[in-house]
Amino acid sequence: MSPAFQPSLFRSFFLGGFECSTHRRRDGRRLDLIAATRHDLLAEEDYRQLAEHGIHTARDGVRWHLIETAPGRYDWGAVLPLLQAAERARVQVVWDLCHYGWPDGLDVFSSAFVDRFARYAAAFAELHLDQTGRPPMVCPMNEISFLAWAGGDTGGINPCAEGRGAELKRQLVRAALAGTEAVRRAAPGATVFAIDPVINIVPRRGHDPRPVELHNESQWEAWDMLAGRLAPELGGHGDAFDVVGLNYYWNNQWLDHAEPLSPFDTARYTPPRELFARAHARYGKRIFLAETSIEGPPRAAWLRYVSEEVRGAIRAGVPMEGVCLYPVLGHMGWDEDRYCPNGLFELEPRHGARRPVHAPLAQELRRQQAEFAALFSPAEAEAAA
């Protein structure tokens, strides 16, 4: 029996996400993963290769630091080739407007940051509408919670602050809200995503569980602020985003101050379908798994496991619109030159501009595509078989 929910947001249930981080590290080095993977040069080939695997929707990045060359001055050369390549390949794209990085010289804690982000977001929305005839699908600020922690508490990435995570989170929410309003004004009908990790921390035996409970609850703060449930003075409201994107990796559950938990640790590990259901129950929005992957040989097994959890969530009434293989292309690590083999495609192209395919993951992807087709349209799947 087909579930009452039928996904309709994306052109394919599975998406491919291109790692597009652009932050500065603590040592001052600017990362640009789109350039590092040569996705900027091979975008059309990458999109077409996605389509060959039945993936017709992607996540990608706009790279604000390259586009706003001076306050209010935009050079679209960093994104226009990608946008046009996606159109030629007929691949739908969800665009991250800020994936951890911003123009040099711009203080993230300043009012100018919010104003400039809003103007830039509106300008991109206008560009997208002009180039495609459609309003864009955008994530204004990717992973507000993670950036607030990594950049505001630990000092690991820009703005490399410590003890200012709460302040940074509020500022990023201000910018996301201003950017959302600007995008919708420039391109009515735009679809706005709010994407953050979903986690579960388990307290150790004999320790006070209350700090862990507070940490678990804090994962909702950015979404709550956007929705106007927390810190309403920031201007959040129930329509601030259309879709909740959940990022879930193999290490999103862990024992407090210790190792990641195994899915086989059934006494302490919470099935991801329950985490997905909590997000839907809290916000009443459509959900999609915005990022998921693992490195090395377990890639196929991880996709199988996550897909089973997504199907379980859907059968339980959670409106899950899709699963994004993120990253879909292997890349070099943020902090060292170690290769991260975590995608459907490996980094170095062979046979011209084509990326090598990780065959076990490709085979599992085909299997899961068939499983979801049967879930949503069992009669059609039976006829096709």
User: What's the number of domains the chain is made of?
Assistant: 1
Does residue 159 have a cis peptide bond before it, meaning omega lies within 30 degrees of 0? yes
> What is the chain's percent helix, strand, coil content, to nearest 5?
40, 20, 40
* Among the listed residues 91, 288, 58, 318, the one whose alpha carbon sits nearest the alpha carbon of residue 194: 288
**Which CATH number is 53's domain given?**
3.20.20.80
Dump strand ranges (E) for 38-157.
57-61, 68-70, 73-74, 92-98, 137-141
User: Which has the higher per-residue pLDDT, 205 or 180?
Assistant: 180
Residue 338 lies in a domain: yes
State both tokens at 6: 């039928």
What DSSP element (H or E) covers 196?
strand 191-197
- Indicate whether 351 pLDDT > 80: no
Residue 2 lies in a domain: no
Residue 123 lies in a domain: yes
Residue 315 lies in a domain: yes
Residue 71 lies in a domain: yes
pLDDT (tens digit, 9 = 90+) per residue, 12-71? 999 999 999 999 999 999 999 999 999 999 999 999 999 999 999 999 999 999 999 999
Residue 5 lies in a domain: no
Q: What percent of the chain has pLDDT over 90?
A: 93
CB 91 within 8 A of CB 57: yes
Mean pLDDT of the chain: 95
Residue 32 lies in a domain: yes
Q: Which residues contact 8 (CB under 8 A, 6 or more apart)?
A: 321
Q: Which residues contact 161 (CB under 8 A, 6 or more apart)?
A: 151, 152, 153, 155, 168
> Domain containing 263: what range?
14-384
pLDDT band at 349 (very low <50, low <70, confident <90, very high): confident
C-alpha 143/C-alpha 156 separation (Å) is: 15
Q: Specify the pLDDT at position 384.
A: 47
C-alpha 310/C-alpha 276 separation (Å) is: 8
pLDDT (tens digit, 9 = 90+) per residue, 295-314? 999 999 999 999 999 999 99
pLDDT (tens digit, 9 = 90+) per residue, 198-246? 999 999 988 999 999 999 999 999 999 999 999 999 999 999 999 999 9
